[in-house]
Amino acid sequence: MAVRPTAVADLFYPGNATKLREQVLSMLSERAPAHAPEAPKVLIVPHAGYVYSGAVAASAYRLLKPLHEKIRRVVIVGPAHRVYFRGMAIPAASGFASPLGEVILDGDALALLSRCADVMVSDQAHAEEHCLEVQLPFLQNVLDDFTLVPILVGECPADRVAAVLDLLWGGRETLIVISSDLSHFHSYQVAQRLDAQTSESIRAKRTSLTGEEACGAAAINGLMASRGVESLDVRALDVRNSGDTAGDRARVVGYGAYALA
């Protein structure tokens, strides 16, 4: 099967491997927050261009450094921005390309998912999608050998997403990554207020987020409805917006990084 090529290299992040590695390592070099958990099972991270949200995402990914040998599979779930569909979509591809090298997909897990009623196989849904792709260079810099299970969520109830996550939950060898930005295109002050409310909903494990609060609301709601998340605590690591990182404050996008352990 074919390898999915990069769609947003040189747009969301550097397409040159050397420059990309340097940028990611620089973002990962900061100290982890004192309140950060030591061994997260789940990360919620943003997916904008690195100049906007990379530092926020790095606040979560740096927690994986001590786990680099233990995590062998990453289940990554995010919203479909380019193609409308009901349910969830997995690719037929055997790997995802990255400037840092190909990431092999977990064929057994994808075969299992392909038999689920709410999951379709669609390379088209994944072809131009950025929300999963931008996470790969971070994972490639903090983990050793791992396979990937990429899942896009369309219009889908939380309990259906939860069922898929519970199916793939696994043990310490499996990391769950939820890719989502927060509010979109409000003023700086309004975004701060809205994103604070959304963060409180995430910390409280509510399953009622809307797309206006987080573009990956369906994925987050599914996570919070899963059996696996019941025993985990949620920590907010970094919540900012593009007015803090790059760009003006008239019309911003919110970003949040959270760890569940």
Q: What are phi and psi of 152, to 5 degrees?
A: -100, 140
pTM comes to 0.97
pLDDT at 185 > cutoff 90: yes
Segment 224-236 shows an average pLDDT of: 97
Mean pLDDT of the chain: 97
Report pLDDT for 6. Answer: 98
3-state secondary structure of 29: coil
pLDDT at 1 > cutoff 70: no
Segment 244-258 shows an average pLDDT of: 96
Report pLDDT for 36. Answer: 77
Considering all CA atoms of the chain, what is the largest pairwise distance in Å, rounded to the nearest integer? 48
Checking DSSP bridges between strand 103-104 and strand 95-96, what pairing results, if any?
antiparallel
pLDDT-based confidence at residue 34 (cuts at 50, 70, 90): low
Residue pLDDT, tens place only, 141-170 = 999 999 999 999 999 999 999 999 999 999
At 116, list the tokens. Answer: 């689920």
3-state secondary structure of 17: helix
Residue pLDDT, tens place only, 60-110 = 999 999 999 999 999 999 999 999 999 999 999 999 999 999 999 999 999
The single-letter code of the amino acid at 80 is A
Domains defined for the chain, CATH in brackets: 21-27+40-260 (3.40.830.10)
Q: Are 179 and 47 in contact (CB under 8 A)?
A: yes
* pLDDT above 70: percentage of residues in the chain: 99
pLDDT-based confidence at residue 14 (cuts at 50, 70, 90): very high
Inter-axis angle of helices 217-225 and 158-168, nearest 10:
60
44: left (phi over 0), alpha (psi -120 to 50) or beta: beta
Segment 47-54 shows an average pLDDT of: 98
Query: What is the Cα–Cα distance from 163 to 87, expressed in whole angstroms?
Result: 12
Residue pLDDT, tens place only, 17-28 = 999 999 999 999
Report pLDDT for 72. Answer: 98
